[in-house]
Each structure stands twice: as C-alpha cells, then as structure tokens.
C-alpha cells in the first residue's frame, strides 16, 4: 500500500506540512529541477535532513503523500517514481499559473483518506486571469468497490477477485484551468497509474491520461501550437502514437446528447500497458513535461484581450457543455464518485465557478460562435 509506514511518520508529515505552510511555499515560484536529478539521501544526519527538506520545498507544493521514509525505501520502484513525477508536474503547472496571475494565490489542501492514501489539492479562485484553476495529486490504495470493478470490466478487463476483494493502488495528477477571458481557452490534463492485485497474486497495471483544449472561440494558430507540442512529445517514442491518441481524444470527449465534442481535442489514452512498464512511464513523463509549453504561451498571448458581454455570455454557455460532459461521461469523475472515501471537493474541482444554460440558444450562421461549433462537430487535423 502506498501510504506512510508508521504513525510517527504520519505525525512527522503533519509537522512538515505545517512548517511548509508557515514558510509560504505556495507563493514560491522557484524553477523546479529535473526529476532524475533528485536523490533521496540514505543518511540520517540532521544536515542531510534539512538539506532534503529545503530541496523538497523548492520542488513541490507540499510534502509527498506517501512520506519521505516510504519513498526512500522504494526509490527505485516505479510507483515511487510516478508519485514524484505527478508531484513535480503539479508544482510546475501551479508556479507557471501563479506567474501569470501574481495577485492570486493557491490554496493548498493536503488530505488523507482513511481507506488508504491521500492527496494534495491546489486551487486558485477569483484571480485576475483565472476564474478557477485546480491542480490535484492523489495517491490512494485499498479495496476496489464493486461499482468501480464493474466499470473496469465493461472496458474488457478480466479482474479475478479473492472473496470479492480486489486490492488496488492508484495515483495521478489532474488539472482543469478555467480562465476569465473568453479568448483564453480552458485546458485539462490528467496522467495516472493504476495497479490491481488479483486473486492469484498477479498484478494488472496500466497508465492513462491526456491533455486537451476547450476554446470558447477558435484561434487556429493556438490550435496548431497546442497540437504540435503534444505531437512532438509523442513522436519521441513512436510516430504512430499522436494520430492514434488524437483520434481517441476526439472520440472520448464526445457529448453524445449534443452531437459535439467538448473541445478541439489533444491526446487521450487509457489502459496502456505495453511495450513495457518502463517505456510507458517514459512516454507519460514526456507528455506531462509538454503540459506547460503547450498551454502557457496561449494564456500569455490572450489574457489581456478585450471582450464583449456577448462573448462572455457565449463562454458561460460553453462551460455548461463542459459541466455536462464531466458529470455524465468522464471516467475519472465516475471512478472517483464510485470509490469509497473519495474526496468529493477534489473530484468536482474540474467544474467552473460559473456556467449558464439557455433554452434553445442557437448562434447566427457565419458567426464566430458558429465557427467553433463546426469544429466541435467535425474535428480537424491541426498538424498536417
């Protein structure tokens, strides 16, 4: 189980969190060093402890969920490396967003799940640039609920339980950014790892994730930049991955009852367990490292654009579509709501502060609003 290995470790983590908060870590904008450069000291000397704590404060938004002792003990295991990656991705995105909205600050909320594990929620609300921006990390373990197991089996997974029990470990980083300006698109990303132990002791594992863009108004230059950045990350590993996961993204974010996509896509994948665990992890790492460069330049470009009340109204209507997809179709939301002990506030962090529904609203033909609807109904190839 990916949790602290003793009560004393948990108390130490609590003291570390309070010290972290007192030092105002959520206002820091340090450059985060590369993950592979971080080495957890084996020594027990006080100097090493303080040096490690200082470096961690520069790297992350809060102490790691699993605790330093557990990460030291398992530092070569993929689960520990994945936890460090999602912690680092959270910090990189939070600091990039904070740089763009210096008058606002992230509320940092470390939480525990009594069934096993916990998480770190970082949420900024009512800023000058971002109406709501959340970047969450969770590292949870326990027994898979019957509803969650049923959902996974419906995707073709053969899960053999022992006495009806399926131990699992899941971890991931998830983010949704809702800007104030309707000319700045909403962005979502999620990268996760899942592991289940079956009745005979064998473990099924897989990765999932993706990054996608939801603009209120279409800007082709922005769409090309976003998709090209993601394609470059995929192409480092296999030229077939971007077209495959781009199509999967267009298909996944389809709002069936509306006949349109949530946004202009990006990449999406799930149940990825080949060619090897290490190779898939490296692919996920490349995708996670592409999140900031694919989105932040777009925010910088448009965050001070002027807009009309009519454009703001259209943004609110499009956010209504965002809410519909997340509550009706999104796998992550469904899994979270079906998992005992889940933190509902963190699961519903993806929803915007404001949205609107109007009866029979149809934009005029040849309008900018109609232009984005055409792309949502008929996805485009943005990189060829």
384 as an active site residue: the answer is: no
Options 26, 178, 183, 188, the catalytic residue: 188
* Residue ranges of E strands in 180-274: 186-197, 203-214, 254-255, 260-261, 265-272
CA 182/CA 291 separation, integer angstroms: 21
What residues contact residue 204 under an 8 Å CB cut-off, 6+ apart?
Answer: 157, 159, 195, 196, 198, 273
Cβ proximity of 260 and 321 under 8 Å: yes
Residue position matching structure tokens 């899942």: 194
**CA dihedral angle for residue 270, residue 114, residue 123, residue 329, rounded to 10 degrees:** 40
Q: Kindly report whether the peptide bond that precedes residue 275 is cis, defined as omega within 30 degrees of 0.
A: yes
Q: Tell me the DSSP string of 277-294.
A: HHHHHHHHHHHHHTHHHH
DSSP structure class, residue 348: G
Look up tokens 């790892």; give the residue.
193
> Which sequence positions are flagged as catalytic?
188
């Amino acid at each position: 189980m990916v949790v602290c290995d003793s009560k004393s470790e948990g108390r130490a983590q609590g003291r570390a969190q309070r010290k972290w908060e007192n030092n105002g870590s959520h206002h820091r904008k340090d450059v985060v060093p590369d993950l592979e450069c971080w080495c957890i000291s084996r020594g027990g000397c006080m100097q090493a402890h303080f040096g490690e704590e200082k470096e961690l404060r520069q790297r992350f938004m809060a102490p790691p969920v699993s605790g330093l002792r557990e990460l030291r003990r398992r530092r070569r295991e993929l689960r520990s490396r994945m936890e460090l990656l999602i912690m680092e991705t959270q910090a990189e995105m939070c600091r990039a967003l904070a740089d763009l909205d210096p008058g606002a600050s992230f509320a940092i909320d470390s939480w525990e799940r009594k069934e096993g594990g916990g998480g770190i929620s970082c949420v900024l609300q009512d800023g000058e640039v971002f109406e709501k921006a959340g970047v969450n990390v969770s590292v949870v373990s326990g027994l898979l609920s019957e509803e969650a197991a049923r959902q996974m089996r419906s995707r073709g997974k053969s899960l053999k339980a022992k006495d009806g029990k399926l131990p699992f470990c899941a971890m991931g980083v998830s983010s949704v950014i809702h800007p104030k300006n309707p000319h700045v698109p909403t962005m979502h990303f999620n990268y996760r790892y899942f592991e289940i132990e079956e009745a005979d002791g064998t473990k099924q594992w897989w990765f999932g994730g993706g990054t996608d863009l939801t603009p209120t108004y279409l800007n082709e230059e922005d769409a090309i930049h976003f998709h090209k950045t993601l394609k470059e990350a995929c192409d480092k590993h296999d030229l077939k991955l971007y077209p495959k996961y781009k199509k999967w993204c267009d298909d996944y974010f389809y709002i069936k009852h509306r006949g349109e996509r949530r946004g202009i896509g990006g990449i999406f994948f799930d149940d990825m367990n080949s060619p090897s665990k290490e190779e898939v992890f490296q692919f996920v790492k490349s995708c996670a490292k592409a999140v900031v460069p694919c989105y932040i330049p777009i925010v910088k470009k448009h965050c001070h654009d002027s807009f009309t009340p009519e454009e703001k109204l259209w943004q609110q209507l499009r956010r209504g579509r965002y809410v519909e997809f997340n509550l009706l179709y999104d796998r992550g939301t469904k899994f979270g709501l079906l998992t005992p002990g889940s933190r509902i506030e963190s699961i519903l962090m993806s929803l915007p502060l404001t949205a609107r529904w109007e009866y029979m609203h149809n934009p005029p033909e040849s309008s900018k609003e109609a232009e984005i609807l055409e792309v949502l109904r008929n996805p485009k190839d943005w990189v060829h």
